[in-house]
Structure 1
Amino acid sequence: MSGSVEIIIRTLTAFILLWVFVQLLGKQTIAQKTYHLYIASITMGTIAGNLAFNIKIKFLYFIIAMIIMGAVVFMLNLVAVRNPRFGKWIAGEPATIIQKGQILEESMKQMGYSLESLKQALRGKDIFNIEEVECAILEINGSLSVLKKQQYRNTTKQNVTLLPPTGTVPIELVYDGKILYENLSPHTYDEEWVMAELKKRNLAVFDISYDVIGTKGNLYIDIFEDQLS
Protein backbone atom coordinates (compact mmCIF):
# COMPACT_ATOMS: atom_id res chain seq x y z
CA MET A 1 0.00 0.00 0.00
CA SER A 2 1.42 3.39 -0.99
CA GLY A 3 1.90 6.14 1.60
CA SER A 4 -0.74 8.44 0.10
CA VAL A 5 -3.38 5.70 0.03
CA GLU A 6 -2.62 4.78 3.63
CA ILE A 7 -2.98 8.42 4.73
CA ILE A 8 -6.36 8.64 2.96
CA ILE A 9 -7.58 5.49 4.71
CA ARG A 10 -6.24 6.68 8.07
CA THR A 11 -7.85 10.12 7.70
CA LEU A 12 -11.26 8.66 6.84
CA THR A 13 -10.98 6.21 9.73
CA ALA A 14 -10.07 9.02 12.15
CA PHE A 15 -13.08 11.05 11.01
CA ILE A 16 -15.45 8.10 11.39
CA LEU A 17 -14.14 7.26 14.86
CA LEU A 18 -14.50 10.88 16.02
CA TRP A 19 -18.03 10.99 14.59
CA VAL A 20 -18.93 7.81 16.50
CA PHE A 21 -17.33 9.28 19.65
CA VAL A 22 -19.48 12.42 19.46
CA GLN A 23 -22.63 10.44 18.66
CA LEU A 24 -22.17 8.13 21.65
CA LEU A 25 -21.38 10.85 24.18
CA GLY A 26 -23.94 13.39 22.99
CA LYS A 27 -24.02 17.10 22.17
CA GLN A 28 -22.38 18.10 25.44
CA THR A 29 -19.10 16.82 23.98
CA ILE A 30 -19.24 19.56 21.36
CA ALA A 31 -20.01 22.22 23.96
CA GLN A 32 -17.28 20.83 26.27
CA LYS A 33 -19.35 21.70 29.33
CA THR A 34 -17.32 19.65 31.79
CA TYR A 35 -13.68 19.14 32.73
CA HIS A 36 -13.46 15.52 31.62
CA LEU A 37 -15.16 16.17 28.29
CA TYR A 38 -12.83 19.08 27.59
CA ILE A 39 -9.81 16.87 28.27
CA ALA A 40 -11.32 14.00 26.28
CA SER A 41 -12.00 16.23 23.27
CA ILE A 42 -8.39 17.43 23.17
CA THR A 43 -7.02 13.91 23.65
CA MET A 44 -9.28 12.34 21.05
CA GLY A 45 -8.42 15.09 18.58
CA THR A 46 -4.71 14.48 19.14
CA ILE A 47 -5.09 10.72 18.69
CA ALA A 48 -7.15 11.23 15.53
CA GLY A 49 -4.60 13.66 14.11
CA ASN A 50 -1.77 11.22 14.70
CA LEU A 51 -3.85 8.38 13.28
CA ALA A 52 -4.24 10.34 10.04
CA PHE A 53 -0.61 11.34 9.50
CA ASN A 54 1.76 9.43 11.78
CA ILE A 55 2.31 6.30 9.72
CA LYS A 56 5.29 5.26 11.87
CA ILE A 57 2.93 4.03 14.59
CA LYS A 58 0.80 0.99 13.91
CA PHE A 59 -2.77 1.60 12.82
CA LEU A 60 -4.12 -0.80 15.46
CA TYR A 61 -2.51 1.12 18.32
CA PHE A 62 -4.50 4.23 17.49
CA ILE A 63 -7.73 2.29 17.28
CA ILE A 64 -7.10 0.74 20.70
CA ALA A 65 -6.23 4.16 22.18
CA MET A 66 -9.44 5.75 20.87
CA ILE A 67 -11.60 2.88 22.09
CA ILE A 68 -10.03 3.03 25.55
CA MET A 69 -10.46 6.82 25.77
CA GLY A 70 -14.07 6.58 24.61
CA ALA A 71 -14.79 3.87 27.19
CA VAL A 72 -13.18 5.91 30.00
CA VAL A 73 -15.22 9.01 29.15
CA PHE A 74 -18.41 6.98 28.85
CA MET A 75 -17.86 5.47 32.30
CA LEU A 76 -17.09 8.89 33.81
CA ASN A 77 -20.33 10.21 32.35
CA LEU A 78 -22.27 7.39 33.98
CA VAL A 79 -20.62 8.00 37.36
CA ALA A 80 -21.21 11.76 37.11
CA VAL A 81 -24.91 11.26 36.39
CA ARG A 82 -25.58 8.58 39.01
CA ASN A 83 -23.44 9.94 41.84
CA PRO A 84 -23.66 13.74 42.31
CA ARG A 85 -20.82 13.78 44.84
CA PHE A 86 -18.35 12.22 42.42
CA GLY A 87 -20.00 14.16 39.60
CA LYS A 88 -18.77 17.44 41.06
CA TRP A 89 -15.23 16.10 41.17
CA ILE A 90 -15.38 14.71 37.63
CA ALA A 91 -17.28 17.46 35.84
CA GLY A 92 -16.56 20.42 38.12
CA GLU A 93 -19.16 22.70 39.67
CA PRO A 94 -20.30 26.30 39.23
CA ALA A 95 -18.74 29.00 41.41
CA THR A 96 -20.55 32.02 42.85
CA ILE A 97 -18.47 35.15 42.34
CA ILE A 98 -21.06 37.81 43.23
CA GLN A 99 -23.49 37.23 46.07
CA LYS A 100 -25.98 39.75 47.44
CA GLY A 101 -24.28 42.41 45.35
CA GLN A 102 -20.83 41.72 46.81
CA ILE A 103 -17.86 40.46 44.81
CA LEU A 104 -16.36 37.32 46.37
CA GLU A 105 -12.65 37.86 45.83
CA GLU A 106 -11.59 34.55 47.38
CA SER A 107 -13.89 32.60 45.09
CA MET A 108 -12.53 34.49 42.08
CA LYS A 109 -8.94 33.76 43.11
CA GLN A 110 -9.70 30.04 43.44
CA MET A 111 -11.17 30.03 39.93
CA GLY A 112 -8.36 32.16 38.49
CA TYR A 113 -10.98 34.70 37.41
CA SER A 114 -9.95 38.34 37.37
CA LEU A 115 -12.05 41.44 37.93
CA GLU A 116 -11.36 42.50 34.34
CA SER A 117 -12.76 39.17 33.10
CA LEU A 118 -15.83 39.69 35.27
CA LYS A 119 -16.44 43.17 33.90
CA GLN A 120 -15.98 41.94 30.35
CA ALA A 121 -18.47 39.11 30.89
CA LEU A 122 -21.00 41.53 32.39
CA ARG A 123 -20.63 43.90 29.44
CA GLY A 124 -21.37 40.92 27.19
CA LYS A 125 -24.74 40.79 28.95
CA ASP A 126 -25.30 44.55 28.49
CA ILE A 127 -24.49 45.26 32.14
CA PHE A 128 -22.11 48.22 32.42
CA ASN A 129 -22.98 49.04 36.02
CA ILE A 130 -21.85 46.35 38.46
CA GLU A 131 -24.24 47.76 41.04
CA GLU A 132 -27.12 46.19 39.08
CA VAL A 133 -25.93 42.65 39.86
CA GLU A 134 -27.47 40.70 42.74
CA CYS A 135 -25.78 37.38 41.99
CA ALA A 136 -23.33 36.09 39.37
CA ILE A 137 -22.30 32.47 38.90
CA LEU A 138 -19.39 31.24 36.80
CA GLU A 139 -20.67 28.09 35.12
CA ILE A 140 -18.65 24.96 34.40
CA ASN A 141 -18.31 25.85 30.72
CA GLY A 142 -16.91 29.30 31.55
CA SER A 143 -20.08 31.29 30.86
CA LEU A 144 -21.42 33.78 33.39
CA SER A 145 -25.01 33.57 34.66
CA VAL A 146 -26.28 36.83 36.15
CA LEU A 147 -29.27 37.73 38.31
CA LYS A 148 -29.98 41.44 38.45
CA LYS A 149 -31.26 43.24 41.50
CA GLN A 150 -35.02 43.58 41.69
CA GLN A 151 -35.10 47.25 40.74
CA TYR A 152 -33.15 46.59 37.55
CA ARG A 153 -35.21 43.66 36.26
CA ASN A 154 -37.78 43.73 33.46
CA THR A 155 -37.36 47.39 32.55
CA THR A 156 -40.35 48.65 30.56
CA LYS A 157 -40.97 51.69 28.39
CA GLN A 158 -42.94 53.35 31.16
CA ASN A 159 -40.17 53.30 33.74
CA VAL A 160 -37.41 53.97 31.21
CA THR A 161 -38.86 57.41 30.60
CA LEU A 162 -38.67 58.15 34.31
CA LEU A 163 -34.90 57.72 34.38
CA PRO A 164 -32.77 60.75 33.60
CA PRO A 165 -30.61 60.26 30.50
CA THR A 166 -26.97 60.00 31.52
CA GLY A 167 -24.96 58.55 28.65
CA THR A 168 -21.95 58.27 30.96
CA VAL A 169 -19.71 55.29 31.53
CA PRO A 170 -18.77 53.95 34.98
CA ILE A 171 -15.89 55.80 36.69
CA GLU A 172 -13.58 53.50 38.63
CA LEU A 173 -12.18 55.21 41.71
CA VAL A 174 -10.50 52.48 43.77
CA TYR A 175 -9.14 49.14 42.59
CA ASP A 176 -7.47 46.51 44.76
CA GLY A 177 -6.92 48.88 47.68
CA LYS A 178 -5.45 51.70 45.59
CA ILE A 179 -6.95 54.98 44.41
CA LEU A 180 -7.00 55.37 40.63
CA TYR A 181 -5.82 58.97 40.50
CA GLU A 182 -5.99 59.09 36.71
CA ASN A 183 -9.78 58.65 36.92
CA LEU A 184 -10.38 61.37 39.52
CA SER A 185 -12.03 64.62 38.50
CA PRO A 186 -10.99 67.92 40.12
CA HIS A 187 -14.55 69.30 40.06
CA THR A 188 -16.66 66.27 41.07
CA TYR A 189 -14.98 63.04 42.14
CA ASP A 190 -11.65 64.13 43.56
CA GLU A 191 -9.56 62.45 46.26
CA GLU A 192 -11.19 64.50 49.01
CA TRP A 193 -14.65 63.39 47.90
CA VAL A 194 -13.57 59.74 47.77
CA MET A 195 -12.06 59.86 51.26
CA ALA A 196 -15.18 61.59 52.62
CA GLU A 197 -17.43 58.87 51.20
CA LEU A 198 -15.24 56.16 52.69
CA LYS A 199 -15.19 57.94 56.05
CA LYS A 200 -19.00 57.95 56.11
CA ARG A 201 -18.84 54.16 55.92
CA ASN A 202 -15.94 53.78 58.38
CA LEU A 203 -13.72 52.40 55.61
CA ALA A 204 -10.14 52.98 54.54
CA VAL A 205 -8.78 52.77 51.02
CA PHE A 206 -6.95 49.52 51.74
CA ASP A 207 -10.31 47.96 52.75
CA ILE A 208 -11.71 48.45 49.25
CA SER A 209 -11.57 45.82 46.55
CA TYR A 210 -13.54 47.83 44.01
CA ASP A 211 -15.13 51.29 44.08
CA VAL A 212 -16.94 52.71 41.07
CA ILE A 213 -19.40 55.44 40.14
CA GLY A 214 -22.15 53.75 38.13
CA THR A 215 -23.88 55.00 35.00
CA LYS A 216 -26.64 56.57 37.10
CA GLY A 217 -24.24 58.35 39.46
CA ASN A 218 -24.57 55.77 42.24
CA LEU A 219 -21.52 54.82 44.28
CA TYR A 220 -20.77 51.09 44.42
CA ILE A 221 -18.24 49.83 46.97
CA ASP A 222 -17.03 46.28 47.42
CA ILE A 223 -14.71 45.49 50.33
CA PHE A 224 -12.24 42.65 50.74
CA GLU A 225 -13.87 41.33 53.92
CA ASP A 226 -17.34 40.51 52.62
CA GLN A 227 -19.94 39.90 55.33
CA LEU A 228 -22.77 37.71 54.11
CA SER A 229 -25.55 36.32 56.24
Structure 2
Amino acid sequence: MPEHFEIITRTMLAFLILFIGAKLLGKQIIAEMNTFDFIAAISVGSIIANLAFNLNIKIHHAVLAFLILVLVILLVSFISLKSRIGRNLLAGNPTVIIEDGKILEANMRKMRYSLDYLNQQLREKGIFNIDEVLYVVVETNGKVSFLQKPQYRSVTKQDLNIPTKQESNLPIELIMDGEIISKNLRENNLSELKLQEELKKRNLQTKEVVYAVLAANGNIYIDTYKDQIASPTDQE
Protein backbone atom coordinates (compact mmCIF):
# COMPACT_ATOMS: atom_id res chain seq x y z
CA MET A 1 0.00 0.00 0.00
CA PRO A 2 1.42 3.47 -0.92
CA GLU A 3 2.45 5.48 2.14
CA HIS A 4 -0.04 8.32 1.65
CA PHE A 5 -2.94 5.83 1.45
CA GLU A 6 -1.65 4.11 4.57
CA ILE A 7 -1.49 7.45 6.43
CA ILE A 8 -5.06 8.25 5.37
CA THR A 9 -6.24 4.83 6.53
CA ARG A 10 -4.35 5.03 9.83
CA THR A 11 -5.60 8.57 10.52
CA MET A 12 -9.22 7.55 9.96
CA LEU A 13 -8.69 4.50 12.15
CA ALA A 14 -7.07 6.66 14.84
CA PHE A 15 -10.04 9.04 14.82
CA LEU A 16 -12.49 6.16 15.07
CA ILE A 17 -10.60 4.58 17.96
CA LEU A 18 -10.32 7.91 19.78
CA PHE A 19 -14.05 8.54 19.30
CA ILE A 20 -14.93 5.11 20.70
CA GLY A 21 -12.49 5.59 23.58
CA ALA A 22 -14.00 8.98 24.45
CA LYS A 23 -17.46 7.41 24.49
CA LEU A 24 -16.23 4.69 26.84
CA LEU A 25 -14.43 7.07 29.18
CA GLY A 26 -17.29 9.57 29.37
CA LYS A 27 -17.39 13.35 29.62
CA GLN A 28 -14.80 13.61 32.39
CA ILE A 29 -11.91 13.12 29.95
CA ILE A 30 -12.97 16.23 27.98
CA ALA A 31 -13.93 18.38 30.96
CA GLU A 32 -11.60 20.62 32.94
CA MET A 33 -8.89 18.23 34.02
CA ASN A 34 -7.19 17.32 37.26
CA THR A 35 -3.63 15.93 37.29
CA PHE A 36 -4.55 12.38 36.33
CA ASP A 37 -6.96 13.52 33.62
CA PHE A 38 -4.19 15.67 32.12
CA ILE A 39 -1.74 12.74 32.08
CA ALA A 40 -4.39 10.46 30.56
CA ALA A 41 -5.26 12.98 27.84
CA ILE A 42 -1.60 13.49 26.89
CA SER A 43 -1.05 9.73 26.75
CA VAL A 44 -4.12 9.13 24.61
CA GLY A 45 -3.08 11.91 22.23
CA SER A 46 0.46 10.53 21.92
CA ILE A 47 -0.73 7.02 21.10
CA ILE A 48 -3.27 8.24 18.56
CA ALA A 49 -0.72 10.53 16.88
CA ASN A 50 1.77 7.67 16.55
CA LEU A 51 -0.93 5.40 15.18
CA ALA A 52 -1.78 7.97 12.52
CA PHE A 53 1.70 9.07 11.39
CA ASN A 54 4.41 6.73 12.65
CA LEU A 55 4.57 4.04 9.99
CA ASN A 56 7.27 2.18 11.93
CA ILE A 57 4.73 1.26 14.60
CA LYS A 58 2.47 -1.64 13.76
CA ILE A 59 -1.22 -0.84 13.88
CA HIS A 60 -2.15 -3.66 16.22
CA HIS A 61 0.60 -2.60 18.67
CA ALA A 62 -0.78 0.96 18.83
CA VAL A 63 -4.32 -0.31 19.20
CA LEU A 64 -3.21 -2.65 22.01
CA ALA A 65 -1.46 0.23 23.80
CA PHE A 66 -4.57 2.37 23.46
CA LEU A 67 -6.84 -0.36 24.82
CA ILE A 68 -4.50 -0.93 27.79
CA LEU A 69 -4.52 2.81 28.52
CA VAL A 70 -8.32 2.93 28.34
CA LEU A 71 -8.52 0.01 30.79
CA VAL A 72 -6.10 1.77 33.15
CA ILE A 73 -8.17 4.98 33.03
CA LEU A 74 -11.38 3.02 33.67
CA LEU A 75 -9.72 1.22 36.59
CA VAL A 76 -8.53 4.48 38.08
CA SER A 77 -12.01 5.98 37.65
CA PHE A 78 -13.50 2.96 39.43
CA ILE A 79 -10.99 3.29 42.29
CA SER A 80 -11.73 7.02 42.57
CA LEU A 81 -15.46 6.28 42.67
CA LYS A 82 -15.17 3.59 45.37
CA SER A 83 -12.29 4.84 47.51
CA ARG A 84 -11.93 8.28 49.07
CA ILE A 85 -8.24 7.61 49.80
CA GLY A 86 -7.67 6.55 46.19
CA ARG A 87 -9.55 9.60 44.93
CA ASN A 88 -7.45 11.93 47.05
CA LEU A 89 -4.23 10.21 45.97
CA LEU A 90 -5.03 10.33 42.26
CA ALA A 91 -6.88 13.62 41.92
CA GLY A 92 -5.62 15.52 44.94
CA ASN A 93 -7.53 17.60 47.47
CA PRO A 94 -9.01 21.08 47.23
CA THR A 95 -6.86 23.67 49.00
CA VAL A 96 -8.05 26.72 50.93
CA ILE A 97 -5.94 29.77 50.03
CA ILE A 98 -8.08 32.56 51.56
CA GLU A 99 -9.88 32.33 54.90
CA ASP A 100 -11.94 35.20 56.32
CA GLY A 101 -10.35 37.62 53.87
CA LYS A 102 -6.81 36.57 54.85
CA ILE A 103 -4.42 35.05 52.31
CA LEU A 104 -2.87 31.76 53.49
CA GLU A 105 0.65 32.21 52.12
CA ALA A 106 1.82 28.70 53.05
CA ASN A 107 -0.99 27.11 51.06
CA MET A 108 -0.32 29.50 48.17
CA ARG A 109 3.31 28.39 48.06
CA LYS A 110 2.32 24.74 48.27
CA MET A 111 0.02 25.20 45.28
CA ARG A 112 2.60 27.41 43.46
CA TYR A 113 -0.25 29.88 43.09
CA SER A 114 0.77 33.48 42.43
CA LEU A 115 -1.05 36.55 43.72
CA ASP A 116 -1.45 37.83 40.16
CA TYR A 117 -3.20 34.63 39.09
CA LEU A 118 -5.35 34.62 42.23
CA ASN A 119 -6.49 38.19 41.56
CA GLN A 120 -7.23 37.29 37.94
CA GLN A 121 -9.36 34.34 38.99
CA LEU A 122 -11.30 36.47 41.47
CA ARG A 123 -11.82 39.30 38.98
CA GLU A 124 -13.25 36.79 36.49
CA LYS A 125 -15.84 35.96 39.15
CA GLY A 126 -16.64 39.63 39.82
CA ILE A 127 -14.55 39.94 43.01
CA PHE A 128 -12.22 42.97 43.09
CA ASN A 129 -11.68 43.21 46.84
CA ILE A 130 -10.19 40.24 48.69
CA ASP A 131 -11.66 41.53 51.96
CA GLU A 132 -15.14 40.66 50.62
CA VAL A 133 -14.24 36.96 50.51
CA LEU A 134 -14.86 34.51 53.33
CA TYR A 135 -13.21 31.50 51.66
CA VAL A 136 -11.39 30.82 48.40
CA VAL A 137 -10.68 27.19 47.50
CA VAL A 138 -8.46 25.92 44.70
CA GLU A 139 -10.21 22.87 43.25
CA THR A 140 -8.39 19.81 41.94
CA ASN A 141 -8.67 21.11 38.36
CA GLY A 142 -6.88 24.36 39.27
CA LYS A 143 -9.98 26.58 39.22
CA VAL A 144 -11.08 28.59 42.23
CA SER A 145 -14.36 28.50 44.10
CA PHE A 146 -15.27 31.27 46.51
CA LEU A 147 -17.74 32.12 49.23
CA GLN A 148 -18.37 35.80 49.90
CA LYS A 149 -18.93 37.21 53.36
CA PRO A 150 -22.66 37.45 54.17
CA GLN A 151 -22.78 41.25 53.91
CA TYR A 152 -21.51 41.13 50.32
CA ARG A 153 -23.75 38.39 48.97
CA SER A 154 -26.60 39.14 46.57
CA VAL A 155 -30.05 39.38 48.12
CA THR A 156 -32.39 36.54 47.13
CA LYS A 157 -36.18 36.28 47.15
CA GLN A 158 -35.88 33.91 50.09
CA ASP A 159 -33.99 36.57 52.07
CA LEU A 160 -36.87 38.99 51.45
CA ASN A 161 -39.56 36.33 52.08
CA ILE A 162 -40.96 36.83 48.58
CA PRO A 163 -43.07 33.83 47.50
CA THR A 164 -41.82 32.09 44.37
CA LYS A 165 -43.44 29.60 42.05
CA GLN A 166 -42.02 26.11 42.37
CA GLU A 167 -40.14 24.97 39.27
CA SER A 168 -39.91 21.21 39.03
CA ASN A 169 -39.15 20.67 35.35
CA LEU A 170 -36.23 21.30 33.07
CA PRO A 171 -36.76 23.48 29.98
CA ILE A 172 -38.19 21.43 27.10
CA GLU A 173 -37.12 22.12 23.51
CA LEU A 174 -40.18 22.21 21.27
CA ILE A 175 -38.93 23.49 17.90
CA MET A 176 -35.45 23.61 16.45
CA ASP A 177 -34.45 24.81 12.98
CA GLY A 178 -38.07 25.08 11.87
CA GLU A 179 -38.99 21.50 12.85
CA ILE A 180 -41.14 20.35 15.76
CA ILE A 181 -39.33 17.95 18.10
CA SER A 182 -42.12 15.38 18.34
CA LYS A 183 -40.11 13.13 20.65
CA ASN A 184 -39.96 15.82 23.35
CA LEU A 185 -43.69 16.46 23.01
CA ARG A 186 -44.51 12.77 23.42
CA GLU A 187 -42.18 12.21 26.36
CA ASN A 188 -43.61 15.19 28.25
CA ASN A 189 -47.30 14.65 27.34
CA LEU A 190 -47.46 17.91 25.41
CA SER A 191 -49.92 18.59 22.63
CA GLU A 192 -48.71 19.58 19.18
CA LEU A 193 -52.12 21.20 18.65
CA LYS A 194 -51.58 23.54 21.62
CA LEU A 195 -48.13 24.39 20.30
CA GLN A 196 -49.62 25.27 16.93
CA GLU A 197 -52.24 27.40 18.69
CA GLU A 198 -49.46 29.28 20.50
CA LEU A 199 -47.70 29.90 17.21
CA LYS A 200 -50.95 31.08 15.64
CA LYS A 201 -51.42 33.63 18.46
CA ARG A 202 -48.06 35.10 17.43
CA ASN A 203 -48.87 34.91 13.73
CA LEU A 204 -46.09 32.41 13.15
CA GLN A 205 -45.66 29.19 11.21
CA THR A 206 -43.40 26.37 12.32
CA LYS A 207 -40.94 26.94 9.48
CA GLU A 208 -40.43 30.54 10.62
CA VAL A 209 -39.19 29.48 14.07
CA VAL A 210 -35.50 28.89 14.74
CA TYR A 211 -35.93 27.83 18.35
CA ALA A 212 -38.83 27.36 20.75
CA VAL A 213 -38.52 26.12 24.31
CA LEU A 214 -40.96 25.59 27.17
CA ALA A 215 -39.33 27.13 30.24
CA ALA A 216 -39.61 25.66 33.73
CA ASN A 217 -42.00 28.48 34.70
CA GLY A 218 -44.44 27.48 31.94
CA ASN A 219 -43.63 30.31 29.52
CA ILE A 220 -42.70 29.55 25.92
CA TYR A 221 -39.68 31.32 24.45
CA ILE A 222 -39.74 31.61 20.66
CA ASP A 223 -37.00 32.94 18.39
CA THR A 224 -37.65 33.41 14.67
CA TYR A 225 -35.44 33.63 11.63
CA LYS A 226 -36.55 37.25 11.15
CA ASP A 227 -35.51 39.06 14.32
CA GLN A 228 -36.84 42.47 13.24
CA ILE A 229 -33.58 44.13 14.32
CA ALA A 230 -32.63 46.83 11.83
CA SER A 231 -28.93 47.03 12.76
CA PRO A 232 -27.71 43.94 14.62
CA THR A 233 -24.76 44.51 16.96
CA ASP A 234 -21.53 43.21 15.47
CA GLN A 235 -18.75 42.45 17.97
CA GLU A 236 -15.43 43.32 16.31
1:221 match:
none
% identical equivalent positions: 42
Task: Indicate conservation of the 8 Å contact 2:34/2:142, yes or no.
Answer: no
The TM-score, its normalising length taken from structure 2, stands at: 0.64
Query: Which residue of structure 2 aligns with residue 94 of structure 1?
Result: 94
The whole-number CA distance in structure 2 between the counterparts of 1:79 and 1:92 is 14
> Does 2:13 align with 1:13?
yes
1:106 alignment counterpart: 106
- Aligned to 2:126, the other structure's residue is in SS state coil
Number of equivalent positions: 156
- Tell me, in whole angstroms, the C-alpha distance in 2 between the residues paired with 1:19 and 1:92: 28
Question: How far does residue 34 in structure 1 lie from its aligned partner after superposition?
Answer: 2.5
Looking at structure 2, the residues matched to 32 and 54 of structure 1 have their Cα atoms a distance apart, in angstroms, of: 29
CA distance in 1, matches of 2:89, 2:83: 10
**1:166-181 residue pairs with structure 2 within 5 A?**
none
For residues 192-211 of structure 1, what are the alpha-carbon distances to aligned partners after superposition, in whole Å with 9 as ceiling and x for unaligned? xxxxxxxxxxxxxxxxxxxx
Q: Distance in 2 between matches of 1:16 and 1:40?
A: 18
| TM-score, length basis structure 1 | 0.66
Q: Alignment RMSD, CA only?
A: 1.3
State the partner residue of 1:154: 154
Give the structure 1 partner of residue 80 of structure 2.
80
Q: Which amino acid aligns with 1:57?
A: I
C-alpha separation between the residues in 2 aligned to 1:96 and 1:28?
24
Residue aligned with 2:97, SS: strand
The offset of 1:33, in angstroms, is 2.9
Match of residue 3 from structure 1: 3
Answer 1 or 2: higher relative contact order, Cα 8 Å, separation at least 6: 1
Q: Give the secondary structure class of the aligned counterpart of 2:63.
A: helix
Query: What are the ranges of 5 or more consecutive residues in structure 2 without an aligned counterpart?
Result: 157-236
Task: Report the Cα offset of residue 155 of structure 1.
Answer: 5.1
- Tell me what 2:208 maps to: none
CA distance in 2, matches of 1:91, 1:24: 20
Deviation at 1:32, TM superposition (A): 4.0
Measured after TM superposition, the shift of residue 35 of structure 1 is 1.8
**Take 1:85 and 1:65, find their aligned partners in 2: how far apart are those partners?**
28
